[in-house]
Amino acid sequence: MPPSERTWFGPVPITSPARTLNDCAKISLSPEFLQQGAAQALRRGLVRRSELADVERALSDFGGMPK
């Protein structure tokens, strides 16, 4: 995994919000949870819409990306 897709929370390595959301989209997380997570991350400025290509594809049949 490239360093740009991970960060640290104290001593624990974690993936970036964009990586986490895209990974959740790839494993077919419930569309409701995926929409909620994407909306919160976008609203808080943790991700850019352009970083969520897998989320966009996964939600295309469920009303699309959150506004």
pLDDT digits (tens, 9 = 90+) for 31-56: 999 999 999 999 999 999 999 999 99
Q: In angstroms, how far is CA 14 from the centroid of its own chain?
A: 13
Q: What is the pLDDT of residue 3?
A: 85
In a domain, 25, yes or no: yes
Number of domains in the chain: 1
Look-up: residue for tokens 């897998």?
Answer: 54
In a domain, 58, yes or no: yes
pTM of the model: 0.84
Q: What is the pLDDT of residue 65?
A: 79
Q: What is the pLDDT of residue 5?
A: 83
In a domain, 22, yes or no: yes
How many percent of the chain have pLDDT more than 70? 99
In this prediction, residues 6-15 reach a mean pLDDT of: 92
In a domain, 9, yes or no: no
Q: Which domain holds residue 37?
A: 17-67
